[in-house]
Amino acid sequence: MNMKLKTAALLAAVALFATGASAETVLRLGHVWPDSEIHAAAAKKFADDVAAATNGEVKIEIHGNSTLGSDRELLEGIKFSSNDIWVGGAGVLSTASETARIFTLPFMIRDVNHYNAVYGGPVGGEITKRIRDESGYEVVAYWLRGPRWLTTKVPVEKPEDLSGLKIRVPDSPVTVQSWNQLGASATPMNFGEVFNALQQGVIDGQENPLSLILSSKFSEVVKYLVRTEHAYEPVVVVMDAGRLAAMPEDQRKAIVDAANGVAKAYASDEVQKGEQTFVKQLQDAGMTLIEPDKKPFQERVGTDFVHKTFAPVADLYDSVAAVEAPNGQ
């Protein structure tokens, strides 16, 4: 009898433990940045806010610094459940969605105010919907990332100055075709190879947000910092659309609200504060700032080029151009 009671008690305890365990949903979030990076810190705030909003029912485990793979592997991993959330540069979505090519079109976004009006308004909603329909991925939030600048070994003040220059770019059809159109010789290359390639004269320049230009110490191998600000590629928080939709409504709301709350505001504030600091730090490191007239560059990769070369997203490109941003937004 006592043995039966002990057995029943043990089974009850196991059942209670299982019930309690099943009440906690654990989501694995992957990104490629070190903990010190702005968006890595934003991801931590996102995770903390989800836990607080759900009283611990949803726990987000963060795996940064590429521990679960590259951006592309992390995006694909969502479909195979090796991770549940990916935070990274939106252009990576173009491997799964034609619409996602919109994120890296040159000179499409005019400034931060325009960025906020686009991705925080109806056009951003349409982009999100199309990506969901094409790929099954849900863009839960768009976080601000600094614009991309050009760094070169020789001065670049107009498109003609790019002629013959090998400019390293990510391995993206949009980016390669755009820089070739600008007159450069676009050279796709893994980011980890860029410093040595600049140092050895394999390439003549590269383009990236200021934070990466600074942290990668490109000031040691190139002299000129060119304020092209040619692309505002968002950082996106992505989940599988079906998985998110299947979650209880309160948990789903907690995730969406947290991704678009304190974490998003933190990323925006830190990026904008950093832009001015980064320029000064790079100048102090010996780089010469060039502020060219952007209009000649914009004209080479403007509406005619986009409509001819990237027809599937031409309508969205036109919609983005039509968005007006109130002053101070």
Cα angle value 251/254/257 (rounded, 5°): 150
Reading the chain (329 residues) residue by residue, the pLDDT tens digits are 433 333 333 333 333 333 344 469 999 999 988 888 889 999 999 999 999 999 999 999 999 988 998 888 999 999 999 999 999 989 889 989 999 999 999 999 999 999 999 999 999 999 999 999 999 999 999 999 999 999 999 999 999 999 999 999 987 889 899 999 999 999 988 777 899 999 999 999 999 989 889 988 999 999 999 999 999 999 999 999 999 999 999 999 999 999 999 999 999 999 999 888 999 999 999 999 999 999 999 999 999 999 999 999 999 999 999 999 876 44
**Residue with token string 């806010």:** 49
Round to the nearest angstrom and report the end-to-end CA distance of the chain: 73
Q: Give the amino acid at 159.
A: P
Q: Give the amino acid at 66.
A: S
Q: What is the torsional sign of CA 324, 326, 328, 329?
A: negative
Reading the block at residue 309, the tokens are: 């070369």
Beta strands in 176-300, from DSSP E residues, in sequence order: 185-188, 205-209, 224-226, 235-240, 288-290
**Which CATH superfamily does the domain covering 25-145+232-275 fall into?**
Bacterial extracellular solute-binding protein, family 7 (3.40.190.170)
Q: Give yes or no for a contact between 102 and 74, defined as CB atoms under 8 angstroms apart.
A: no
Half-sphere exposure of 98 (CA within 13 A, CB side): 10
pLDDT tens sequence across 12-30: 333 333 334 446 999 999 9
Q: Which residue ranges does the chain devote to CATH 3.40.190.170?
A: 25-145+232-275, 148-231+276-320
Q: Give yes or no for a contact between 144 and 271, defined as CB atoms under 8 angstroms apart.
A: yes
Third-level CATH fold of 148-231+276-320: D-Maltodextrin-Binding Protein; domain 2 (3.40.190)
DSSP string, 146-171: PPEEEEESS---SGGGGTT-EEEE-S
122-135 helix and 314-322 helix, angle to the nearest 10 degrees: 160
Q: pTM to 2 decimals? A: 0.84
Q: Give the amino acid at 158.
A: K
Output helix, strand, coil percentages for the chain, rounded to the nearest 5. 55, 15, 30
